[in-house]
Amino acid sequence: MPTKPNDLSTIRDLLRYAVTRFNTAKLFFGHGSTNALDEAAYLILHTLKLPLDKLDPFFDAHLLQDEVDAVLRVIEQRADERLPAAYITNEGWLGGYRFYVDERVIVPRSFIAELIPDQFSPWVSNPDKITNILELCTGSGCLPIMLADAFPNAQVDTVDISADALAVAKLNVEEYELQDRITLIESDLYTNVPENKYDLIITNPPYVNSTSMGKLPPEYLREPQIALAGGDDGMDLVRKIVAGAAKRLTPKGILMVEIGNERAFAEAAFPELNLTWLTTSAGDDMVFLVTADQLQ
């Protein structure tokens, strides 16, 4: 690490140093940023409490030595400890929403989040008639908060088996002042869920197959493994979710499940279902939909 105060004095200097440091350390970027430059810019701006979308005006601003030291500490923490940036800053971003995160939950990321602003059109024809939503495996509570915003007449029951995760979700629900509309439930999937009928069941469950779990980059190993591991074929929890959905959905209800790169395993697990694959920024393989009719 540089020792002389004038070694690194501007944000431009620190950005260059951080990108080199991150690339030399061969960091993995999969928790918001996709490259060393974007991640370095985010960490520097956040540490200096500057607007995250305004790097240029500050590029050549000379920093105080304690500011330089604070940024260098963050850069070294990211490079040496392989901590995802979100755990360093205690914030994750998804669909324009900011969420508090720490190592009790996985860093918010979901292809379902891309579909929420359009209220799942065309599969949901009248969003105002959506009154009950169940969201399973909530983690930080990011998806139920987005769902509550998108479906203003809905009550959302949201579930996680981890009390630690629910403690984080509670912070985020309170931050968005949605305590009256989102109910947090500690439960192994449906076990402790009320005997309600839901218009939508939404889930981004653990789905990483055991072979892939063994190949995860160090950054992913810093996350709660219970939130990632889905068994031999990644479908252990997905099977239970699909099996239990039939009696939980309204007659015209919809189940939506995110399964990442596991489409082949999902189709093999449910050969009797004609899974509908939804289009996201990653293609047509990440999220499937099943109707209540199909599950009867």
Burial (CB < 10 A; 0-12, 13-18, 19+), residue 201, is: buried
Please report the pLDDT score of residue 83 as a whole number: 95
**Domain spanning 102-294, CATH architecture:** 3-Layer(aba) Sandwich (3.40)
- Going from the C-alpha of 127 to that of each of 123, 151, 153, 199, 213, the distances in angstroms are 10, 6, 8, 10, 37
The residue that leads in pLDDT, 286 or 2, is: 286
C-alpha span between 45 and 10 (Å, rounded)? 12
Please report the pLDDT score of residue 281 as a whole number: 92
Give the residue extent of every domain in the chain: 11-89, 102-294
Evaluate if residue 80 carries a pLDDT over 50: yes
Of 58, 26, 63, 162, nearest to 106 (Cα)? 162
Of 235, 254, 232, 104, nearest to 167 (Cα)? 104
Class of domain 11-89: mainly alpha
Indicate the average pLDDT of the chain: 95
CA 208 to chain centre: 14
The answer to whether 243 and 295 are in contact (CB under 8 A) is no
Please report the pLDDT score of residue 32 as a whole number: 83
Alpha helices in the chain (DSSP H): 11-24, 36-47, 65-81, 85-89, 112-115, 142-150, 163-175, 210-213, 218-221, 236-245, 263-269, 292-295
At 95-137, the pLDDT tens digits run: 999 999 999 999 999 999 999 999 999 999 999 999 999 999 9
Residues 6+ apart with CB under 8 A from 87: 101, 102, 103, 107, 222
At 174-186, the pLDDT tens digits run: 999 999 999 999 9
Examine domains 11-89 and 102-294 and report if their fold is the same: no
* pTM of the complete model: 0.93
